Amino acid sequence: MSTLGDVWGPTKKQDKYVFSKINSFTTMNLDYLRTILPIKKLFFPQKQELFSFNLGEGNKKTIKAVDDSKHRILFGLHPCEINALNIQDGFFMFGDYSDPYYEDLRNNTIVVGYSCLPDNNCFCNFTGTSDVDEGYDLFINNLDDYYLVFVNSTTGNDIVIQNQEMFDEDISKIDLNNYKKWVNKRNSMFKHEYGDITNNITKLMDLNYNDEFWDKLGEECLSCGTCTISCPTCSCYNVVDKLSVGTIGLGFREREWDSCQLPQFSVVAGNVDFRVTRASRLKLYYSHKLVTYGNDGPSCVGCGRCIEQCPVDINVLRVVKNLTEVDL
Ligand code: SF4
Ligand code: SF4
């Protein structure tokens, strides 16, 4: 596979996992469940130089776009991660307003998915993202004794054709039954039972918009931004021009991750801040995660990172529990 480009996959980092560039398949750890940062970091990096400029003098102004898009293979992405990438596609590649930096990185990347079994923090059963139908080239289902591979693009098909000795295209009824058994086993392992996220959460969010529960969360929240940084579907960024010291007119424009949970995020011209309280910022985040993001409905994919990483235990499941619970 390395002939197709740089290979990236999950590797162990102390007791956590990260997506890193792989030089040997032995360093890849497919037993992982979730990485610290989601794969969005490879399409929309934490800091990304967009272009450099030299304003010079007279007619010598130059602007040079940065193109660091290379061919890559991302190996071992779970369904929630690919579903999150599809949501990022909707944000960055929306009709005529496609972001060229993101689009180049996306078009130059082969995505190979890999099946997983949930732990106590996974709830993709509840967000409808435990399986994925698009956004990948190949998807490998580990059925214990062998792998069932879904092909979802011409690139994926080319890889299969070029490596025919690794694949057997005769799928039998036994294979299908083994797959169904595996899906049933996976589904029975989820611990969280809230029903379908899309069902009535919109109404409940509206009806509870002024509930004191939000103020309580606001008092607990540290405004650290960890939930947005670790969330695979958060895509807010800031753009800043950085000038070099000592050379007039020379500099570069950089895009960097931002977070709606940070105090200065909603400050606009005139120093007006329309989301002063932490409660109001949390309502924004959870409206995007549970109700609508763009035109595409909720954006939570149930990866469990906010459960694992928020230092004060604010997360989607806690919010949903409060929205749905009946007070007696
Ligand atoms: S809101 Fe939490 S569980 Fe949902 S996708 Fe973001 S980090 Fe994952
Ligand atoms: S909800 Fe948790 S992770 Fe998010 S900003 Fe508040 S304290 Fe940080």
pLDDT class for 64, splitting at 50, 70, 90? confident
The tokens 């029903």 sit on which residue? 195
What is the CB-side half-sphere exposure of residue 67 using CA atoms within 13 A?
A: 8
Q: How many whole angstroms separate alpha carbon 146 and alpha carbon 175?
A: 10
CA angle 112, 16, 26 (to 5 degrees): 50
Q: Taking CB atoms and a 6 Å cutoff, what residues make up the pocket around ligand 1? A: 230-233, 289, 300-306, 316
Beta strands 72-77 and 6-13 are parallel
pLDDT at 58 over 90: no
Beta strands 147-151 and 138-142 are antiparallel
Number of domains in the chain: 1
Q: Which ligand 1 atom is at minimum distance from the Cα of 289?
A: 1
Task: State the ligand closest to the CA atom of 84.
Answer: 1
Structural domain containing residue 101: 2-324
When pLDDT is averaged across residues 246-258 and rounded to a whole number, the result is: 88
Q: What is the pLDDT at residue 293?
A: 76
Q: Which alpha helices (DSSP H) does the chain contain, by range?
A: 79-92, 100-107, 124-127, 154-162, 173-188, 201-207, 212-220, 226-230, 278-290, 305-309, 316-324
Q: How many whole angstroms separate alpha carbon 230 and alpha carbon 301?
A: 12
The tokens 């606009």 sit on which residue? 268
Task: State the ligand closest to the CA atom of 37.
Answer: 1
Q: What is the pLDDT at residue 201?
A: 81
Q: Which ligand 1 atom is at minimum distance from the Cα of 305?
A: 7
Q: What is the DSSP letter of 110?
A: E
Question: Of the given ranges (203-217, 251-265, 291-305), which has the lowest mean pLDDT?
Answer: 291-305
Which residue, judged by its Cα, is nearest atom 2 of ligand 2? Answer: 310
Looking at every residue in the chain, the average pLDDT score rounds to 91
Rounded-to-10 torsion of CA 310, 274, 321, 117: -50
> pLDDT tens across 118-153, in order?
999 999 998 889 999 999 999 999 999 999 999 999
Read off the tokens for 232. 């695979």
Q: What is the DSSP letter of 251?
A: E
Read off the tokens for 46. 């934490």
Q: Rounded to the nearest whole angstrom, what is the distance from the C-alpha of residue 60 to the centroid of ligand 1?
A: 47
Q: Which alpha helices (DSSP H) does 194-277 contain, by range?
A: 201-207, 212-220, 226-230
